[in-house]
């Protein structure tokens, strides 16, 4: 602990004062001003995405295993936060940080957080969230309308109809997906005669009542990991997530999906209930959107709940020109959408919307002391209990930025994506490996000579006799294996260099399928990431890539020149 920290004489009067918004807010303003200055400094700082402190060094900074005994002065704790935390935080808002969906946020978000904290409403219940409950319902109606586009009379009737809920505000996409799948499960195993429904009886009794031996959820191999987590949580068993391969554009392969459903239906040794089919509107790794319209139809035929995970892509619906990509989303039973990604709100908030206004009643609950049965409390429908007034952020952002503003932001994102693709291609030492609909680019470092060699080998594979073709393909695989190792090392080196940031993943769906290819992943949504920044990022990466290449070149030459 900082030696200069002085102990504060601890007495109740001092503590009480902490709970009062000061009569003259000078003290507060003073702290606030200092804070803003220091946040500003942090963002202005030249240098890397984060400080040079290593993880073990950071461990050593935060290694107190006991709660502090005596109170410290606010200003001392703020100083500590500055030197220990802010200094070693990740500059997720940096234009050079293009690796994750967490990005820059508009500064008015900080003002909104002040309001949210000061009001400290708890959304679980009208008694602790009055106007804010209505703000939440209004926001939910907006987003429901955006997605499902039902009649205006539907929204007029239901926006504040407290018997139902059109959707929930959640802590993020994971909770949204969980909520949707929980509803799907209830719909799959409803009460029936003496059987009180899955909710009351549990999934084992539900399956046996309906004579199924398992319930499954189907989603493409691009499905977010939260889906497996949700299926585990729901007690359905992770092995009952059925991942359907994707096509070359990372869209779920419709033919394979149909074939799998048919196979499930024809199985004789066990009967399978398809609880839900999930379409993805903005895959996390590659920014692609499934054929939602066809998925809706298939789901209907299969008697499955159709959920769309639009946590990433959903906000693009705000802009008319993106709408056609989402065709069919209005047929979904439920849709998850996040506000801390393409709506540019701080981490984290999600929403889940249900086309059928009665669906959320399937998981409605109540208690004596809050969320009474006939109340108007939002908490009757949510998985979570206490919740902050987080919905103020997207509500205000949609007003301040507006649909038109979001249109401009997405246009910038698309231009950035295309520009990055262009300069990567032009450089020659990179290979772009996906075709995104939404602002995510996968690429890898691969020296031009190696790409050329792969082209030659591909030619041989296509036009030679079987044995030669097999040899060429084997060589391609070995080269890719080597380039995979190179890119893992490359990514590590980029993180050490720390002047730019992209993330990394592994895809089976590139043009080298089924071989797994290690790719870098750039997410191009920061409006401050200008063309010049992208030029600089590619130059830096090319320089670092070429340095690493030296270590890999001998091994490459061995593979290239190997004669069987």
* Positions 223 through 262 that interact with a second copy (CB under 8 A): 224-226, 228-229, 232-240
Residues of span 67-86 touching a second copy by CB under 8 A: 67-74, 77-78, 80-81, 84-86
Residues of span 417-456 touching a second copy by CB under 8 A: none
52 binds a second copy (CB under 8 A): no
474-478 LR contacts (CB < 8 Å, sep 24+)? 475/559, 475/560, 475/562, 476/512, 477/515, 478/559
Q: Which segments of 227-332 are extended strands (E)?
A: 241-244, 272-280, 305-309
Minimum Å gap between C-beta 197 and a second copy is: 9
| Piece of 249-257, 351-359, 403-411, 446-454 that binds a second copy (CB under 8 A) | 403-411
Minimum Å gap between C-beta 150 and a second copy is: 10
Of 298 and 432, the one with the shorter C-beta distance to a second copy is 432
With b for 16 or more beta-carbon neighbours within 10 A and e for fewer, the 52-84 pattern comes to eeeeeeeeeeeeeeeeeeeebeeebeebeebee
Strand pairing class (334-338; 305-309): parallel
Contacts of 30 (CB under 8 A, 6+ apart): none
Binding a second copy by CB under 8 A: which of 205, 271, 474, 553?
205
Binding a second copy by CB under 8 A: which of 90, 319, 427, 460?
90
Minimum Å gap between C-beta 513 and a second copy is: 15
Q: Nearest Cα to 446, choosing from 537, 556, 285, 533? A: 556
Minimum Å gap between C-beta 457 and a second copy is: 26
Distance CA 237, CA 560 (A): 45
Question: How many contiguous H segments (helices) and E segments (strands) does the chain have?
Answer: 18, 11
35 binds a second copy (CB under 8 A): yes
196 binds a second copy (CB under 8 A): yes
Residues of span 107-166 touching a second copy by CB under 8 A: 107-123, 125-132, 134-135, 137-138, 141-143, 145-146, 152, 155-156, 159-160
515 binds a second copy (CB under 8 A): no
Distance CA 32, CA 30 (A): 5
Minimum Å gap between C-beta 117 and a second copy is: 4
Residues of span 12-31 touching a second copy by CB under 8 A: 12, 15-16, 18-22, 25, 28-29, 31
| Piece of 103-111, 294-302, 465-473, 533-541 that binds a second copy (CB under 8 A) | 103-111
Binding a second copy by CB under 8 A: which of 251, 260, 412, 421?
412
Which burial class, exposed, middle or buried, applies to 214 when counting CB atoms under 10 A from its CB (0-12, 13-18, 19+)?
middle
Of 83 and 249, the one with the shorter C-beta distance to a second copy is 83
Residue with tokens 């949204």: 176
Strand pairing class (241-244; 440-445): unpaired
Minimum Å gap between C-beta 511 and a second copy is: 18
DSSP string, 510-546: STTTTS-EEEEEEE---TT--HHHHHHHHHHHHHHHH
Binding a second copy by CB under 8 A: which of 248, 303, 400, 558?
400
Minimum Å gap between C-beta 98 and a second copy is: 12
Residues of span 343-362 touching a second copy by CB under 8 A: 344, 346-348
The tokens describing 72, both together, are 């410290």
Of 133 and 429, the one with the shorter C-beta distance to a second copy is 133
Find out whether 203 and 236 touch, Cβ atoms under 8 Å: yes
Minimum Å gap between C-beta 146 and a second copy is: 6
Binding a second copy by CB under 8 A: which of 3, 62, 374, 561?
62
Q: 370-389 mask for a second copy (x: CB under 8 A)?
A: xx----x------xxxxxxx
Binding a second copy by CB under 8 A: which of 147, 169, 180, 182?
182
Helix (H) / strand (E) element for 431: namely strand 430-432
Binding a second copy by CB under 8 A: which of 98, 147, 180, 207?
207
Q: Nearest Cα to 306, choosing from 324, 316, 292? A: 292
Contacts of 304 (CB under 8 A, 6+ apart): 184, 188, 218, 274, 275, 276, 277
Binding a second copy by CB under 8 A: which of 66, 268, 374, 465?
66
3-state secondary structure of 66: coil
Q: 267-306 mask for a second copy (x: CB under 8 A)?
A: -----------------xx---------------------
319 binds a second copy (CB under 8 A): no
Minimum Å gap between C-beta 482 and a second copy is: 20
Binding a second copy by CB under 8 A: which of 269, 399, 426, 466?
399
Distance CA 336, CA 306 (A): 12
Q: In this structure, is the dihedral angle defined by the CA atoms of residues 103, 107, 112 and 117, taken in order, positive or negative?
A: positive
- Reading phi first (left if > 0) and then psi (alpha if -120 to 50, else beta), residue 344 is in left
Which burial class, exposed, middle or buried, applies to 102 when counting CB atoms under 10 A from its CB (0-12, 13-18, 19+)?
middle
């Amino acid at each position: 602990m900082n030696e200069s920290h002085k102990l504060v004489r601890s007495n109740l009067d001092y503590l009480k004062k902490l709970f009062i918004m000061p009569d003259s807010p000078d003290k507060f303003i003073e702290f606030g001003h200092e804070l803003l200055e220091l946040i500003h400094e942090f963002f202005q700082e030249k240098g890397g995405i984060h400080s040079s402190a290593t993880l073990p060094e950071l461990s050593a900074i935060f290694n107190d295993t006991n709660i502090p005994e005596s109170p410290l002065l606010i200003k001392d704790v703020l100083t500590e936060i500055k030197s220990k935390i802010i200094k070693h935080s990740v500059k997720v808002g940096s234009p050079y940080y293009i690796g994750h969906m967490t990005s820059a946020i508009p500064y008015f978000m900080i003002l909104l957080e002040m309001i949210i904290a000061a009001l400290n409403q708890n959304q679980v219940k009208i008694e602790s969230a009055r106007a804010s409950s209505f703000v939440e319902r209004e926001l939910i109606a907006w987003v429901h309308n955006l997605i499902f586009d039902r009649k205006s009379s539907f929204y007029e009737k239901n926006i504040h109809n407290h018997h139902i809920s059109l959707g929930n505000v959640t802590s993020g996409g994971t909770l949204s997906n969980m909520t949707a799948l929980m509803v799907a499960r209830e719909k799959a195993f409803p009460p029936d005669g003496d059987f009180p429904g899955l909710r009351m009886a549990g999934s084992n009794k539900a399956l046996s009542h309906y004579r199924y031996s398992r319930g499954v959820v189907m989603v493409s191999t691009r499905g977010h990991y939260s889906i497996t987590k949700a299926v585990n949580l729901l007690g359905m068993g992770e092995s009952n997530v059925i991942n359907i391969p994707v096509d070359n554009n990372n869209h779920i392969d419709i033919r394979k999906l149909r074939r799998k459903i048919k196979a499930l239906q024809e199985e004789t040794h066990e009967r399978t209930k398809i609880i839900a089919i999930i379409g993805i509107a903005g895959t996390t790794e590659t920014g692609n959107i499934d054929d939602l319209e066809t998925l809706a139809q298939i789901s209907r035929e299969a008697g499955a709940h159709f959920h769309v995970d639009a946590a990433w892509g959903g906000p693009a619906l705000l802009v008319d020109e993106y709408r056609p990509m989402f065709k069919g989303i209005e047929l979904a039973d439920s849709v998850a959408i996040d506000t801390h990604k393409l709506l540019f709100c701080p981490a984290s908030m999600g929403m889940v919307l249900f086309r059928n206004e009665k669906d959320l009643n399937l998981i409605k609950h109540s208690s004596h002391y809050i969320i009474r049965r006939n109340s108007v409390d939002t908490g009757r429908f949510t998985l979570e209990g206490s919740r902050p007034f987080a919905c103020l952020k997207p509500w205000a952002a949609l007003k301040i930025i507006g649909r038109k503003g979001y249109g401009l932001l997405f246009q910038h994102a698309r231009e950035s994506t295309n520009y990055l693709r262009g300069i990567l291609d032009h450089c020659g030492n990179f290979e772009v490996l996906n075709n995104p609909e939404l602002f995510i680019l996968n690429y890898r470092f691969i020296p031009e000579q190696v790409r050329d060699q792969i082209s030659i080998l591909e030619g041989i594979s296509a036009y030679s006799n079987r044995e030669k073709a097999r040899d060429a393909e084997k060589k391609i695989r070995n080269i890719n294996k080597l380039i995979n190792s190179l890119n893992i090392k490359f990514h590590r080196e980029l993180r050490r260099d720390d002047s730019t940031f992209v993330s990394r993943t592994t895809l089976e769906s590139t043009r080298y399928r089924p071989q797994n290819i290690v790719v870098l992943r750039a997410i191009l949504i920061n409006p401050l990431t200008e063309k010049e920044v992208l030029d600089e990022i590619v130059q830096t990466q090319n320089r670092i890539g070429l340095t690493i290449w030296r270590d890999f070149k001998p091994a490459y030459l061995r593979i290239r020149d190997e004669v069987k």
